[in-house]
Amino acid sequence: MKDYFCDMKKHQITIVDIAQKLGISKSTVSRALTGHPSVHQQTRERVLKLAEEMDYERNMLSIGLIKNSSLTIGIIVPEFTRSFFPKVIIGAQEKAKAAGYNLIICHSEESYETEVANTKVMLLHQVDGLLISITKETTNFEHLKVFQRKGIPIVFFNRVCEEMVVPKVIVDDEEGAFSAVQHLIKRGKKRVAFLNGPANLHVCKKRGEGYKNALQRNKLQWDEQLLRHYDLDLNTVEEHVNFFLGLQDKPDAIFAINDPTAIEVMRVLKKKQIRIPEDIAVVGFSNDMVSSLIEPGLTTVEQPVAEIGRVAAQLLLDQIKRNIEDWKAQTVILKTKLIQRDSS
Amino acid sequence: MKDYFCDMKKHQITIVDIAQKLGISKSTVSRALTGHPSVHQQTRERVLKLAEEMDYERNMLSIGLIKNSSLTIGIIVPEFTRSFFPKVIIGAQEKAKAAGYNLIICHSEESYETEVANTKVMLLHQVDGLLISITKETTNFEHLKVFQRKGIPIVFFNRVCEEMVVPKVIVDDEEGAFSAVQHLIKRGKKRVAFLNGPANLHVCKKRGEGYKNALQRNKLQWDEQLLRHYDLDLNTVEEHVNFFLGLQDKPDAIFAINDPTAIEVMRVLKKKQIRIPEDIAVVGFSNDMVSSLIEPGLTTVEQPVAEIGRVAAQLLLDQIKRNIEDWKAQTVILKTKLIQRDSS
DNA sequence: CTGTTAGCGCATTCAT
DNA sequence: ATGAATGCGCTAACAG
């Protein structure tokens, strides 16, 4: 009896089982199941009925094997406890689903090593395309170039790889940062500090440029002490704020690379009884869900988050449909929008 | 399932390619790749080297087909723009990775239909087990029972299915709700309202029981107008709050099913110049990241979020290792902890 | 309309 | 230590 059960566990109901019971060939069963037109109506009904009765489920693995496709696209994000990446994923999923594709998500936890492991998972699962935003540590791109060589399209979003010629979706980071700093200056601030992210990330470089441009445009002195790069570990934000506060000539505004950072900056300032925005104004980037809930409300640069996901997925689906020699490598740059609240 | 597969086959590097280049049989290549002992050391090295050079990746679809396993476990969550589910996922990923399993994540976006589609993806990828927290719409469980029939273990967490006898990981929702309401009453509140979630969710039922128990224990009158179920759509929270405020005998405290709801309640109250907690105190559930950042800080019932993921993954891995006839269906109940802040 | 045959990429038995 | 052959479950020519 026990052996019987063990065997049962292994044995899947297949089209052959159905075919045998019905005394027809498995091809006919297959055709009936897939809705092929040239099957006798009566045969089809008998197959469908028996399949239902026997709890038959198609084995998509074998189908994927044949078609060399899994109808799945993968997405790798470095982080998702904040609302940014989840919202991108939701946008991407929307487009993918509409095209009949499923989405599998991997989380690289800002670790290069995990990212490489994730790409292996994607390869193993035969994804038809990959969406990715790289980790803060990623400077080697071999694991991603593999996809190109294999003819599996990649689309970058948010954190892109500069050296790879593939579609990318970003926002106008330079313009976004520019408008944030411009706004602060218009509010009367003269010494705007920028707590930037890792210098190797393209997105951070661009925001750095926007920052500098805004200063120049307003003929404000460029002070390199006011631009600091940090590794996105929120625990270290306090040190950086302390550095700013320890300067001979303190900043009167802090622009932060993203909203979580800005919120942490605000927490540190509040703890020190520094008034926001009177003493020091704060501006973030992204318009996270939290930013409207805290006090004072955080002024921030809004990104069309779900749209980033939608566009990225659409570009990927376009690539998937194209032959490899017709691949296009456009970069889509979406607009940002300054959201003014009470922190500035 | 509709046939969406398109036909362009990108050529994959297979063991046959490697075998041909090396002038050996594909069996030997296979053995070298899988680490079979009886392969000449030199042969193995040549194979490994060439595989590396050619960017060869094993095709999981075919291996999965043969082995009926993919070393992958799936996780389906209904929502993840808040920090709750992402943190659970991170915990689960930790355990899975340690056991050599990969984790693929699907997002059901609180839609029954999407959840069903997600389970198909999991089946397609031949996951060895499934972790799931159901959507608020899910009342039919056929798509999940399929897994049991196929011998693929399932573990529920947070939002569990009552009628299925499988392992589950929840927190002590009844006790958590009890302690929240007990706390409010100790603070002098006499009319505690509860804005609960969908009545069909087990987790909501349990919290409802905790709420009622606390009232009873304190000999407070049970008023059915003070207990409302809502569909977790934050846009409708305002109506419910307005209902409470329109009562003859208004509540002096509102306990909300989760933190986002509580925060929305607070927003509505603040808009109406109602003082928190003096006029109406507010308590949430989960200790979301936001809750400590807003003002006043939200009193809430903390859940061991990552631990939920870890335990669920561990239970699943245990089931995977067991034969189907040895499956255990224990329910693990983790402890909650009341976090007192200024909203109560 | 339906049956036959041939793989998809790989692991695995059985040979040698 | 290696090669040949078999088959996982299914679809897709190619016959009838």
DSSP annotation string for B176-228: HHHHHHHHHHHTT---EEEEE--TTSHHHHHHHHHHHHHHHHTTPPP-GGGEE
Q: Determine the average pLDDT of the residues in A156-169.
A: 97
> Two tokens at B6?
């398109």
C-alpha–C-alpha distance, residues B283 and B176, integer Å: 11
Tens-place pLDDT, residues A178-231 = 999 999 999 999 999 999 999 999 999 999 999 999 999 999 988 999 999 999
Q: Which nucleotides of D are covered by protein (CB under 7 A)?
A: 1-5, 7-13
Comparing CA positions, the residue from B59, B55, B78, B57 lying closest to residue B70 is B59
- In this structure, the dihedral spanned by the alpha carbons of residues A41, A43, A49 and A53, taken in order and rounded to 10 degrees, is -170
Indicate the pTM of the whole model: 0.84
The candidate with the shortest Cα–Cα distance to A260, out of A108, A135, A81, A134, is A81
| Chain A, nearest residue to B8 by Cα | A323
**Of residues A80 and B239, which shows the higher confidence score?**
B239
Residues 6 or more apart in contact with residue A53 via CB below 8 angstroms: none
Closest by alpha carbon to A129, among A89, A96, A158?
A: A96
Q: In chain B, count of helices (H) and strands (E)? A: 12, 12
Q: How far is CA B327 from CA A86, A297, B74, B154, B309, in A?
A: 34, 52, 19, 10, 20
Q: What mean pLDDT value characterizes chain A?
A: 92
Contacts of A4 (CB under 8 A, 6+ apart): none
Residue type, A240: H
The sign one gets for the Cα dihedral B234, B235, B237, B238 is positive
Residue A267 CA distance to nucleotide C15 C1' (Å): 74
Give the pair of three-digit tokens for residue A242: 């302390």
Collapsing DSSP states into helix, strand and coil, what is residue B105?
A: strand
Concatenating the DSSP letter of every residue in B131-143 gives EE---TT----HH
Question: Which residues are registered as beta bridge partners of B301?
Answer: B285, B338
Which tokens is A198 given?
A: 């890792």
Structure tokens at A146: 């593999």
Tokens 């993203």, located at residue: A258
The candidate with the shortest Cα–Cα distance to B313, out of B84, B120, B118, B130, is B130
The answer to whether the Cβ–Cβ distance between A107 and B121 falls below 8 Å is: no
Which segments of chain B have a pLDDT < 50?
Answer: 1-9
Sequential DSSP letters for A275-312: -TTTTSEEEEEE--GGGGTBSSPPEEEE--HHHHHHHH
- Choose the mutation target among A71, A291, A325 for the interface with B, i.e. most B CBs under 10 Å: A71
- Backbone φ and ψ for B248, nearest 5 degrees, come out as -50, -55
Q: Which of the 8 DSSP states describes residue B12? A: P
- The Cα–Cα gap between A134 and A76 comes to 8
Give the pairing of strands B299-302 and B337-339: antiparallel
Buried-state track B248-286, b at ≥16 Cβ within 10 A, e below 16 = eeebbbbbbbbbbbbbbbbbbbeeeeeebbeebbbbbbb
What Å value separates CA B66 and C1' C8? 13
Phi and psi dihedrals of A145, rounded to 5? -65, -30
Structure letter (DSSP) for residue A143: H
Tokens at B327, concatenated: 């499956």
Q: Is the pLDDT of residue A10 over 70?
A: no
CA B193-B198-B201 angle, 5° bins: 115
- A11 interfacial to chain B (CB closer than 8 Å): no
Chain B interface disruption, residue of A4, A80, A291, most B CBs within 10 A: A80
In angstroms, the CA B57 to CA B13 distance is 8
- Average pLDDT estimate for A26-39: 94
| Contact assessment for residue B210 and residue B182, using Cβ atoms and an 8 Å cutoff | no
The position carrying tokens 């044949």 is A66
Q: For residue A331, what are its two tokens?
A: 């970069």
Report whether A229 contacts A197 (CB < 8 A): yes
Report angle CA B268, B273, B276 to the nearest 5 degrees: 75
Report the percent of chain A where pLDDT is more than 90.
Answer: 77
- CA A225 → C1' C4, Å? 78
Separation of alpha carbons A281 and A315, rounded Å: 39
| pLDDT grade for A98, boundaries at 50, 70 and 90 | confident
Q: Which residues of A touch B57 (CB under 8 A)?
A: 120, 123-124, 146, 150
Q: Distance (Å, rounded) from C-alpha A96 to C-alpha A98?
A: 5
User: Which amino acid would we find at residue B93?
Assistant: Q
pLDDT of B12: 84
Domains of chain B: 2-66 (1.10.260.40), 72-171+305-334 (3.40.50.2300), 173-302 (3.40.50.2300)
H helical segments located in B35-111: 41-53, 60-67, 84-98
CA–CA dist A12, A28 (Å, integer) = 19
Residue type for position B96: A
Q: Which residue has the higher pLDDT, A281 or A98?
A: A281
Which residues in chain B have Cβ-Cβ distances shorter than 8 Å to A36? Answer: none
Q: How confident is the model at residue A11 (pLDDT cuts 50, 70, 90)?
A: low
Q: What separation in angstroms does the CA of A55 have from each of A23, A141, B66, B113, B332?
A: 19, 45, 21, 20, 31
> Under a CB-based contact definition with an 8 Å cutoff, are residues A71 and A101 in contact?
yes
CB neighbour list of residue B185: distance below 8 Å, 6 or more residues apart: B192, B214, B218, B220
A290-343 residue pLDDT tens: 899 999 999 999 999 999 999 999 999 999 988 888 899 999 999 999 999 999
B322 at A interface, C-beta within 8 A: no
Closest residue by Cα to residue B287 from B267, B258, B312: B258
Cα dist from A74 to A131, A281, B167, whole Å: 6, 40, 29
Q: Which nucleotide is nearest to B5 (CA to C1')?
A: D11
Contact of A107 with chain B, judged by CB distance below 8 Å, is answered with: yes
Report whether B312 contacts B155 (CB < 8 A): yes
Closest alpha carbon to A158 in A107, A206, A102: A206
Three-state DSSP class for residue B75 = strand
Question: How sure is the predictor about A281, in pLDDT bands with cuts at 50, 70 and 90?
Answer: very high
What is the per-residue pLDDT for B81?
86
The reported pLDDT for the residue numbered B9 is: 44
Question: How far, in Å, CA of A82 to CA of A264, rounded?
Answer: 14
| Spatial distance between the Cα atoms of A197 and A215, rounded to a whole number of angstroms | 19
**pLDDT, position A102:** 77
